[in-house]
Every structure is written in structure tokens, then in C-alpha cells.
Amino acid sequence: MSIDAVNNHNSIDYVSEVVNGGQISAREICETALNNAEKDICGSFITVTRREAISAADRVDKAISNGIRLPLAGITLAVKDNICTAGIRTTCASAALEYFVPSYDATAYERLIAAGCVPIGKTNMDEFAMGSEGSLSHFGITRNPLNPDLIAGGSSSGSAAAVSAKIASVSLGSDTGGSSRQPAGLCALVSMKPTYGRISRQGLVEFAPSMDQICPITHTVKENAMIISVMEGADFKDLSMRRDLDMINPTPESKIPERMGVFIPTGCSAAVVNAVRKASMLFSESGSECEPAELPEQSYAVCVYNALSSVEALSCLARYDGMKYKSADLSSVKDISSAREIRGQCFGKEVKERLALGAAALSVNDAALYRTAVDLRKKIAVETDALFEKYKVIIMPTTKRTSYRFGQYYNEDDADLNLVYANLTGCPAISVPFAGASVQLMAARGEDNALYSAAKFLEDNNS
């Protein structure tokens, strides 16, 4: 079997089947992907992991020759550069961690490698996962493979671009306020932010721990479910893991929810509005009761997210002084002020602004802003739970518009409105390409399988 035949088919269940069957080697698939990664013109990768990839591919081929079948045999994997990988630098796209090499693997990554995935590189991102365009990396911008003049989204820009360009079969991103779903949507891909506590966060460099999640980015809904089914499961290293969730069905059945709410915020482009309306019409014509719905506390949700995530980031990033993993002249460090200057040089403008917001939220009027945000988050969660007593799934846009030029809408205050609810409440949400845009579905906590079924139905009927 030729490598071209494998690349043309491109589905991960097909690739793993032919690799497990000995029709093509994981090494051959790996070398082709590495060559493509090294020629990538979109800025998808910070580090291409040739040595580690070939070693992993050879282990897969050896296991297969010994009669062992692997569920993800030979599947090429790109990994966001805030997910720890033993012996491979993990920079978070920041000067502060430019030379940081972890001594351990993130649990989710470790499980994918054990299942037969081959890691071809660490992907570009907005610094410390703070951004939405892929333009805030110490290592340069990431462009959209569908149109290099447009953004790939953020912060998981390189993870989406690597899969969209078909360099890697799948990728891992992280999602704190839409950072995986948004770039997937702008690059015509699928990304699922599962119920908080389903996937271990051990080894994910923290931005806002109460909201962070590791998420797969794939071409199809079925592939996405396959990846999460391998990553999920108890992990004693992450105390936020939930043990009461049904396991993911790796081959979701295409099924419609009984009742759906439809939410379209103001300011969406015509293409996005058309996609959501067409999707809701499809569900309605197929027997689902669809009616307009409102998300709770819309005027506050993004502000609540910004306040809470910035406070958590302030705590998480306090450990980075720029003196160990950045190329700094430590002989110049003579007092506190010079140490602060080096720390200040480590972080980009966006990170500094978020840290300043976090400091302000904790200091103004005895942390009144932070306490108010905590209370509002609880209110949003309670009202969202009530919404899901009425509707099985909420359908809404992933983004307010399709991809755009760098900086065109960067300062738009409510651009993340649809995305942050899943992170504030811990609910699962999935972005799916549909009708020339991206549609997002959100369900109650624990209803990940129902969400995959609805997403599969939408995908199967996309024309």
C-alpha cells in the first residue's frame, strides 16, 4: 500500500487498521508527516520532534510485529506546547519557558502514545494560552491553512493549523475560554471541550485551573470521540477528576435530541446566522422541538470569565521569574528591581495585561470585584442547569464570524460570549463545521455522549 493512498483516505480508524494489518508501517507514515511539518509555511509548530516520532513509530511497528493491536496505531499527533512532554521542550510560546524541558508526560498525552499515536511536534499557540488569533507567540504567528491571510484562531492556533493542513491526523489543544473550539471552528475542524473532570489536567501548564481542559482537534466527530475515549479515565494525579461519568462511546450514533434551544447573539455575520438557522431547521424537520433560548447573564458572562481567569492566571504564573529557562544574564541580577525587570521581559503585552487585571480584581475595594465574579459564576451555573432541565442541547454559533484578517476584530468585547459558558459551568461543548461556518452544541454536565450523537447527526447531514 502506498503512502499516498493512506494520506488520501486520512481517517484515523482507516490508518490504524492498515497499520495494525501490516499493510503500511507507522515509520513510513511518520516520516511523511515529519517532512511535511518541517516544510510547513503556516507557523504551526514550535518544535518538530523527529527523533521522538521515529522512536515512537518504531515501537508501534515492533508491537504489531509481536501480534499486539493498538487502537491508534500510527496516528500522527501534534501537541499544543503547553502540554508537558518528557524530554521535549514545552515553551507555552513564551520567552519565560523557551528552554524548559519537562521530566514527565501529561497523562492525556501519555495515554495516546500508549495507544499507538506518534508525536510529530509541539504546536504554536498564543503565549500561555492567552489570546484568540494565534498572533501572540514568542515564536511568530500562525496562519490559517485554508487561507494564509486569515487567522487560525487561538490560543490553540498551531494545533488547529497542523490538522487543517493534514500534517498531523489529530492534535491536542487546551480550552480555558474557547481556546480549542474557536480555532477548530475557524479551520473547519471538530473540537470537544468535555465535561470538566473527564480528562486529566495533569501535565497541562495551568492558565485558570478551574476552567482549563485538554481537548482533541480532529476532522470528524467520530475521530474526536475515539481520542477522548482513550484519554479519559481516573488519574490520582489530578484531584479534579470525576468518577461518576459514563465512558465515552468511541463510535457515536447519529441521533437528534428531543428538545433544543437555539441561541444567536447580536453581531454575528450573515454566514454564521445562516449556518445556525439551517442546523436548527435540520433538527426541527427531523423531529426535534427547537425554540429560541437565552443564555443566562449575557451582559456579565465575559466579564466574569475575564476576572476569574485573570486572578487564577496571576497565581499560576507567579512561579515564572525568567531566570532559569530564559536566556538571561543572571550576573545583572543585583537586587529586586533588576529581577523584576527580567521577569517583565519574559511576558508579552497580553499576558501582562491579564496579570494586571487579576491583581486589580484582588486589590480594589478588598477584592470586591473578584468576590462578585465568584457569586455571578455560581448564578450562571445554577441558571444554566435550569436551562438544561428544559432543553437537552443548546445550539449556537461557535464564533460570531468566519475567519478574518489579523487584528480586524481583536478588541471586540463579546467575541467569546458563546464560548465561555462551557468553561464557567463545566459543561461539555463541541464545535462542528456546518454550512460553511461552525456550529457549537452545548449540553449539561455529564451529557457528553448525547452531545456527540447530536454532533454526529449534524455532521452526517452537512451539505
- Catalytic positions, please? 80, 155, 179
In the block, cell 447527526 appears at 457
For 39, the grid coordinates are: 516544510
Question: Under DSSP, is residue 172 helix (H, G, I), strand (E, B) or coil?
Answer: strand
Rounded (10°) CA dihedral 190, 293, 253, 17: 10
Residue 246: CB atoms within 10 Å? 11
CA distances from 198 to 161, 242, 244, 274 (A): 25, 6, 9, 33
> Are 262 and 271 spatial neighbours (Cβ–Cβ below 8 Å)?
no
CA distances from 324 to 188, 320, 372 (A): 39, 9, 37
> Are 263 and 394 spatial neighbours (Cβ–Cβ below 8 Å)?
yes
* Alpha carbons 394 and 399: distance in angstroms, whole number: 15
CA distances from 405 to 77, 144, 152 (A): 28, 10, 10
Residue 27: CB atoms within 10 Å? 18
Question: Under DSSP, is residue 252 helix (H, G, I), strand (E, B) or coil?
Answer: coil
Q: Which of 402, 338, 405 shows the shortest CA–CA distance to 184?
A: 402
* Alpha carbons 220 and 76: distance in angstroms, whole number: 15
* Alpha carbons 228 and 246: distance in angstroms, whole number: 12
Half-sphere exposure of 40 (CA within 13 A, CB side): 33
Q: Which of 115, 131, 97, 105 shows the shortest CA–CA distance to 49?
A: 105
**Residues near 288 by Cβ (< 8 Å), separated by ≥ 6?**
256, 257, 258, 259, 260
